[in-house]
A and B are shown apart, each in its own frame.
Chain A
Amino acid sequence: MSDIFTNLPSDLRELVRLAGVDHRDRGITIFDGRGRNPDRRSYAHLFKLATATAARFDAIGIGAGEPVMVALPTSWEWLQAWMGLLFCGALPVASSGASGLAAAETQLSKVDQVMGAIGARHVIASAAFRDQAAAGGFDLAHAGVITPEEVQAAEPTQGFEPPPIGADDVAFLQLTSGSTGLPRAVMITHKGAVHNPAANCQGASGQMREPIQDWVECMASWLPLYHDMGLVGCLLLPMLVGFELRLLRPQTFLARPMLWLRELGTNGLSFAPAPNFGYQLCVERIKPRDLEGVDLSNFKVALTGAEMVRRETADAFVEAFSPFGFTPESVVPCYGLAEATLAVTFDEAGQGVRTLPAPAGTDAGFGMSEVVSVGRPIRDTRVEIVAPDGRKLGEDAAGEVCISGPGIFAGYYGDDKATAESLIDGWYRTGDLGFLHDGELYLTGRIKDVLIVRGHNLMPDEIERLADRVTGGGGLVRSAAFSVTRGSAGEEPVLVVESADDDVGRLAAVAREIKIEVGRALGLPIADVVFVRRGRIPRTTSGKMQRSEVRRRYLEGTLDVIRSEG
């Protein structure tokens, strides 16, 4: 089975069915929130669960093409709900769950807003979620919440047959950060959902003699299933090629990162992706005694993507874990995003992290002196670098990364305007900046204002709105949030606030209040709160705030600061 593309499943349902046929002895083990009580079931079982649950959803009245949210932690209930919706003909939409210290209202209001925006009637969630929604006065509490127990209790429709689908039909919706803090629902086609994981395997195989699906035995993942890398890379991909899959909850990894490496080092030859911060967390938190008996020479492919890949982190990871057998060439940088289903490029060289000096004039906001190769486009996928005026640029010239191929999304669900702005003639404008060198992509920054802090994507508005609550701003007084990178911590949020007051003592108190407001709502520490005089946050002639310009001046030290902490 060397060429994965010769017998590619026709659609995502077929992928799920074939996993149970072609990989009968393989399956998924899911750990509880404490990283204990592994619950293993086969891929064949998952297929049966999906079809049986589809008949129950049909009986409940879930219709074909209807978006339905899934807000459950990584669990068999999650898989049952998501896969059941897929087979019932609905559009599953996985949404983020509770996270650490962030307020429960933050999650609830996001789910509520998304449901309103995409017209979803139902969310599959726990009874506790329903109680919280009711207590918080959210509309979705009334009819919207269906618990996994209620689904299980429904009498299935006899002789239910999933409605027919084609390769270009939408299979599911993937939530991603929109420009205003409200997530957008990316429409992923069946074709993309099957092609992209296959192309990822080919990309990850790179220069190796045998394709990875012929010898990798296990994948271990802690990535959230509501994230494209978690869903496509760490569920659909292992099902397609029949890896034994070990799933931890994200919270379990954050509390005990060693559990992830233990899984990767004790279950045969293994493959796993993670964002840069995941590798960084391993370096910071895992002690040698945590890894007794773990052989990381098994961890053959360590994909790093989904946020800026940093050479320092990869080097530190290799240094920390080479005593346990980990080898530098196992690190494989890649680049992907929800609008591409997942991957766009893979570094196939098999040489570990390779860098070039950051070209002059590229976005200095990330503070990197070198930029990492994220490799070449995956099969059937094209990458072009485009100037602001739409001109296609040649090698070594930095511009916006534009992509096309079978994994490109079909549009934002229910948002034709946003679709038309970014998806033109099959080409998606990513909002990421980079250049090509010898056909390989190097990322240098971002046009879009999204902050990616320790794996969480958030839009500046989410922080600015909370700050405005403290300062009473939003009108004349403005604030601007952006991220900077200093040292190994990755991106850190900085907030610049305009102020008419120049009493440093009073401003210190306001800064703390803002940090408390943001900390309580989002569970996110702010690295620096900076006060500047009124009117110093630059705007375009149309009045749009220029956050990238604020960031540039902040880093240059030309912001005319009244008070800062950094």
Chain B
Amino acid sequence: MNRSAIAISVIARITGVPEESLVPETELVADLDMDSAKALELIVELEDRFEIEIGDDDAAGMNTVGDVLATIASVGSSRDRS
């Protein structure tokens, strides 16, 4: 499984929403009822899975499923470059 597929499966498990209904435009709070506890559960799980660190600023900028995928991609790539 690639990173995006893993991230989608984590979001699906935490929110109880089936993977196939998650699209990049899906809003984390408005569509998935993600409250702060679920958001932090998601962030920590992604950090552990991918051995990355998602800062508060990155977290605050995550509005959609697409944003989550973009964040893990960019955090990962900056780590790889350094």
Please give the residue numbers on chain A whose beta carbons come within 8 Å of chain B beta carbons, in ascending order: 34, 97-104, 128, 132, 251, 254-256, 281, 285, 454, 456, 512, 515-516, 518-520, 523-526
Contacts and interface: CB of A to CB of B under 8 A. Distances in A.
Given A104-B57, A128-B57, A520-B63, A99 B27 contact: no
Contacts of A102: 36, 60
A104 B41 contact: no
Given A255-B41, A256-B44, A285-B41, A100 B30 contact: no
Contacts of A281: 37
25 contacts: A34-B47, A97-B56, A98-B60, A100-B39, A100-B43, A101-B60, A132-B57, A254-B37, A254-B41, A256-B44, A281-B37, A285-B41, A454-B37, A512-B31, A516-B27, A518-B29, A518-B30, A519-B27, A519-B28, A520-B30, A523-B36, A523-B39, A524-B29, A525-B34, A525-B35
A255 B35 CA distance: 11
A519 B47 CA distance: 23
A455 to B, nearest CB: 9
A254 B35 CA distance: 10
A267 B28 CA distance: 38
Contact of A515 (B27, B39, B43): B27
A61 B54 CA distance: 36
Interface string B58-74: 01111100000000000
Identify which of A103, A128, A251, A256 gathers the most chain B CB atoms within 10 Å of its CB.
A251
Nearest to A521: B29
Contacts of B36: 99-102, 254, 454, 456, 523
A281 B35 CA distance: 12
A525 B44 CA distance: 20
B19 interface: no
Contacts of A256: 41, 44
Identify which of B27, B44, B47, B56 gathers the most chain A CB atoms within 10 Å of its CB.
B56
A100 B59 contact: yes
A255 B44 contact: yes
In the A-B complex, the 8 residue pairs with the closest CB atoms = A519-B29, A515-B30, A100-B36, A255-B40, A98-B56, A255-B44, A100-B39, A519-B30
